[in-house]
Structure 1
């Protein structure tokens, strides 16, 4: 089979092998600017939008993908060379693959190369929505102060050099300023990141920045910009060299960066679009008046569950999530954590069978075909912990509920932050606070509770005696007996979920 490089020129030949866009990509106009064109966006929003474009009647919802950081050079160059095309490989539970080419990204821009071009694109009249996957840490939120972090060097740079920004806040501010000056109507800024109230968070953080950078813009934004909340869900592991090779061998498609994902997908969106919106509901998304119950459930169960498996599994020497969750002790511990400590904090979730949802998570985590790398799941835990785990702890402390299992996971993270698993193998730790975490982890070997003194992550947790005691006990137990022996005992001493 002849290998075909994935691009517009070869698309008609590729269509003989796998599903491809049915629409004329050259006729599609950009209506959405998306910042952060990594795997998740391409498995999620870009997939939904591609489905919406398929019947050929919608022509103004093409996506302009923006690579924001220097780190994004590779993905930008790849998509540029492939005319924005990429292959989506859905790894089914039975081991089969469903493969299709996605064509909804019709433009690509590299922000560090030409900041003004990105600002002008965001400000262009045809763009009605700016969407974001900038990771939890990209919102510049300080857990200790509950406010925008103006001490961030990149923010200081953006305030001083507004025409050459480095953060999303600098870009959005200048784009909104330009839209106001041009007399344009409103625009929607939609977060697709794993943050509870992600739209509200973006609104608060952006307005904080604008109030200092362009104060005259605040009033205009209040009536011309909307920030819908959304819950997003689709497990999307890092693409491996094996994935690329298998795609070429099985289909003859030469794609430098395909995306792999699970079959499950969910997108629940608050219906708050000031300048109109795509009919994503026709291709499986849900528009609702209030997203909060859905997002709280997902963040506290799926995302926190991932972190629980990742941190415990990493210390025990596992490489992938499916390997770790098939360890009966880890699986039981996670099940107990979800049932005993998370579920009481969720309240009434109308229309949702919570037991079915939790069971589905265990099945999804255990998909042996996904091979989600544990070091990806554990990356940037300092940004994830305050969003995924800390709210559960705070709610349970307030209600005098159990926090023992969350304290154990926190202790495991402190030991993980020393940089080696229980077999002495180096851990691949990727975290913006890596140095501070490591420093506090070393101090914790003498005084375990000192790890909790990272206020930007833990807030006031170090003052909660009940938690500190449970955490310290767990820390010493792990050091003395190892993770698996400890969780086995925790499981045997825990009331089993129904």
Structure 2
């Protein structure tokens, strides 16, 4: 048995100079960092990027391949400054802890070789001007693409986009930086770079193209046409459950592995990346590292977003209302688990298109198993985060398909009603729910208005679009929300599972 107290006391501060002192059961890079050179600029090198894209690149580098495709990190959000400070102090190394239900393994990843000063757009533009940068990748969250949920199109009137269009030489957004970087490439007669979204949203490459080309149109129509014709925006499906890092994770990486890493990444042992082979200036041999390269990612994407992400949304809000802290604890609640399984089986899987080589029933079962993994420590608060951006992508499309098919929507409507009740900001035990959405004030006010008029919730066009006007959805949602307030979460979960009206 490992002496965790002793490991904590003797833990090694992570850096290039101390790699040789890291305990032997922690694997480390097989390559020399000095042999790497940049090929990718990545916006948003947070936990998910480092547990996913960074891991795949690290695998490839460990094979001695594509050493000229290392990552340069970039951030425009001031809140990322602390992460950069920590990463720079440990020479941009990350401890990635992979956890199954029974085992934990740690690996030091070194695929990032620089992290530009946060918010320094000139440094970003200078890096984008370097021909060595052939891919610009990004994880900027589902809500970071300026998509109007009511239309599904790029929101060219968003205040941040309008501001960048008026002063594109000093952009403030990721997409402003990309547009200005591509403008410089065109003006110098150089090849463009590929823009590769690694975010968890439907058709992420199309969303990235819409944002880049849409902003460019506001600046220069000819530039927009050049980008649209010459650059590439591959779609990709990304999947790995990666919780946020806190004091517990920092303490745990010391006690389990003897590594003092102030920003470790804990993640599940499952990982998947399905990517379209559509690059303008080459790409690393990602298939050698386990990435699935396919001609069309849409079926894989729909499967993951609807079954896994939609499943998270289904279980999150009743769990939040019951004061449950972790996802695996929610899966131990027979009512929440039963609710999730019934909604998936009767209302979600039925409208997921076939996926080449994948049994959807087996995939759904694997998702249930992953949610129940107690080692992950994925919080219900994280799963409830940013519902105003996630619901339109993870729940509403499935609702629309079920309605179009004349099929049952009672479970999905109940899930939406749980979200509404959660946004009132108080659990069933009377405990305050902290603001958990960029639009929290609006959501809370609308949730309170729905006490008198349940349909008020469905009038949020940025979430539901025209679906909020559907009479059958209004009826099912009203019945569900009224029932939650009358019978409570447990009562409504029980009624739904038993099929009671």
Supply the distance in 2 between the matched residues of 1:273 and 1:251 (Cα, whole angstroms).
39
Supply the distance in 1 between the matched residues of 2:316 and 2:111 (Cα, whole angstroms).
33
Show the 5 A alignment for 1:321-400. Answer: 321-400=327-406
2:79 to 71, 74, 77: 71
How large is the RMSD of aligned CA atoms in angstroms?
A: 1.5
Contact 2:98 2:105 in 1 (8 A): yes
1:52 to 46, 54, 60: 60
- Structure 1 residues 265-274 or 217-226, which shifts more? 217-226
Unaligned runs of 5+ in 1: none
Q: Is 1:107 aligned with 2:114?
A: yes
Q: Cα–Cα, structure 1 residues 255 and 301, in superposed 2: closer, same or farther, change >3 Å? A: same
- Structure 1 residues 48-57 or 383-392, which shifts more? 48-57
- Measured after TM superposition, the shift of residue 283 of structure 1 is 1.4
- Structure 1 residues 281-290 or 182-191, which shifts more? 182-191
> Counterpart of 2:208?
202
> Counterpart of 2:33?
25
Supply the distance in 2 between the matched residues of 1:428 and 1:262 (Cα, whole angstroms).
27
Supply the distance in 1 between the matched residues of 2:25 and 2:260 (Cα, whole angstroms).
12
Supply the distance in 2 between the matched residues of 1:184 and 1:27 (Cα, whole angstroms).
26
> Counterpart of 1:309?
315
Cα distance per residue 1:44-91 (max 9 Å; x no partner):
000000000013242101000112201111111111111111100011
- Measured after TM superposition, the shift of residue 208 of structure 1 is 1.1
Contact 1:116 1:163 in 2 (8 A): no
Supply the distance in 2 between the matched residues of 1:148 and 1:139 (Cα, whole angstroms).
8
Supply the distance in 2 between the matched residues of 1:115 and 1:62 (Cα, whole angstroms).
20
Supply the distance in 2 between the matched residues of 1:3 and 1:369 (Cα, whole angstroms).
22
Cα distance per residue 1:452-492 (max 9 Å; x no partner):
11111110122100000000000000000111111111111
- Measured after TM superposition, the shift of residue 120 of structure 1 is 1.7
> Counterpart of 1:225?
231
- Measured after TM superposition, the shift of residue 17 of structure 1 is 5.1
Supply the distance in 1 between the matched residues of 2:285 and 2:294 (Cα, whole angstroms).
13
> Counterpart of 2:4?
none
- Measured after TM superposition, the shift of residue 159 of structure 1 is 2.0
Contact 2:146 2:154 in 1 (8 A): yes
Supply the distance in 1 between the matched residues of 2:58 and 2:475 (Cα, whole angstroms).
51
Cα distance per residue 1:82-130 (max 9 Å; x no partner):
1111100011221x21001000011101341x21110121231001111
Supply the distance in 1 between the matched residues of 2:129 and 2:320 (Cα, whole angstroms).
44
The number of aligned residues is: 493
> Counterpart of 2:69?
61
SS of residue in 1 equivalent to 2:170: coil
Cα distance per residue 1:362-406 (max 9 Å; x no partner):
110000111101111111111011110100011111111111111
- Measured after TM superposition, the shift of residue 24 of structure 1 is 0.8
- Measured after TM superposition, the shift of residue 15 of structure 1 is 6.3
Show the 5 A alignment for 1:30-429. Answer: 30-94=38-102, 96-112=103-119, 114-429=120-435
TM-score using structure 2 length: 0.96
Cα distance per residue 1:139-177 (max 9 Å; x no partner):
000111332223332223212332332211111111101
Unaligned runs of 5+ in 2: 1-6
- Measured after TM superposition, the shift of residue 16 of structure 1 is 4.0
Q: Is 1:430 aligned with 2:436?
A: yes
